[in-house]
Amino acid sequence: MRIDVLGVGFDALDRDAALDRAQAWLDGGTPRYIVTPNAEIAYAALRDAALRDALNGADMVLPDGIGIVKASRQLGRPLRERVPGAEFGPGLAARMAAQGKRLYLLGAKPGVAEEAADRLRREHPGLVVCGARDGYFQDDADVLADIARAKPDVIFVCLGAPKQELWMRRNLDSVGPALMLGLGGTLDMLAGRVKRAPAVFRKLGLEWLYRLAHPSRWRRAAALPRFVMAVRRQRRHEKKGR
Ligand code: UDP
């Protein structure tokens, strides 16, 4: 069952159930992709049909942020919990290690994916990181050829939103039987280039507040009040329709 927040259908799964489902797909031999939108992206999708299609066309749609979970409660169809991409990706890597599965890392500035690969290899012996490449390429063909050589089971696509969602949608039939995960800034995090908020902020659902300390985030955060208003409009609209 998917839960509609501003026209994006989110899967009502907790973290473990989401990981179980993704793990079951590893042996499926079918290309698939998973997205982890936050409030800002769901709001952007209201006005961007291509982004909305890329999100709703995913095999799994997970709420990256607390804003989506709160909105789902206000709409009377509560999602269980947030499933941040930055936790989901490494969680799947841990499960892949036990099965000797192959992971390809795509995205972030030159050098970052390699550093993230080193960290994942250290933390998860058994995991095969079969390729790593930065996210500032001009044409897809090169990247797709590299992926074809590497034969990954899973690809972390970390090009930022909405680029990564559109990339996965566009290339779904060109990556072999891989499972792709759109994970935003996760490679930067794994490489230690950005730190996640301290645990106390995360527990209180205030990671966004911590991030505001970074001025480049201000423009993005400006979308949050608009997201809240749009959710109120959706609620009013649904009440009328009942
Ligand atoms: N990025 C990329 N190619 C691009 C644009 C961005 O690889 O053309 C990377 C960028 O270096 C960063 C990530 O995408 O590693 C986006 O991270 P951010 O934290 O901004 O994204 P979010 O998780 O908020 O979507």
Question: pLDDT tens, 186-221?
Answer: 999 999 988 778 888 888 888 888 877 776 677 777
Mutate to test the pocket of ligand 1, among 136, 164, 186, 208 (most ligand atoms within 8 A of CB): 136
Instruction: Give the global pTM.
Output: 0.92
Burial status of residue 145 (CB atoms within 10 A of its CB: 0-12, 13-18, 19 or more) = exposed
Q: How many CA atoms lie within 13 A of 203 on its CB side?
A: 3
Q: Looking at per-residue confidence, does 241 or 13 come out higher? A: 13
Ligand 1 atom having least distance to the Cα of 109: 11
The pLDDT tens digits of the residues spanning 163-190 come to: 999 999 999 999 999 999 999 999 999 9
In 57-182, which residue ranges form alpha helices assigned H by DSSP?
66-74, 85-98, 112-123, 140-150, 163-171
71, 224 contact by CB (below 8 A):
no
234, 39 contact by CB (below 8 A):
no
pLDDT of residue 216: 66
pLDDT of residue 222: 81
Q: Is 96 helix (H, G, I), strand (E, B) or coil?
A: helix
Q: Which residue has the tokens 């809240």?
A: 228
Q: Cα–Cα distances in Å, from 180 out to 43, 90, 147, 165, 167?
A: 23, 13, 12, 10, 10
Ligand 1 atom having least distance to the Cα of 86: 23
Given CA atoms 81, 87, 92, 95 in this order, what sign does their dihedral have?
A: negative
Distance in angstroms (rounded) separating the CA atoms of residues 86 and 71:
21
Q: Which residue has the tokens 């006005």?
A: 47
> What are the backbone dihedrals phi and psi of residue 103, each rounded to the nearest 5 degrees, phi first?
-120, 135
Mean pLDDT within 27-53: 96
Mutate to test the pocket of ligand 1, among 62, 137, 155, 163 (most ligand atoms within 8 A of CB): 163
In one-letter notation, the amino acid at residue 74 is Q
Q: Token pair for residue 222?
A: 């400006």
The pLDDT tens digits of the residues spanning 120-140 come to: 999 999 999 999 999 999 999
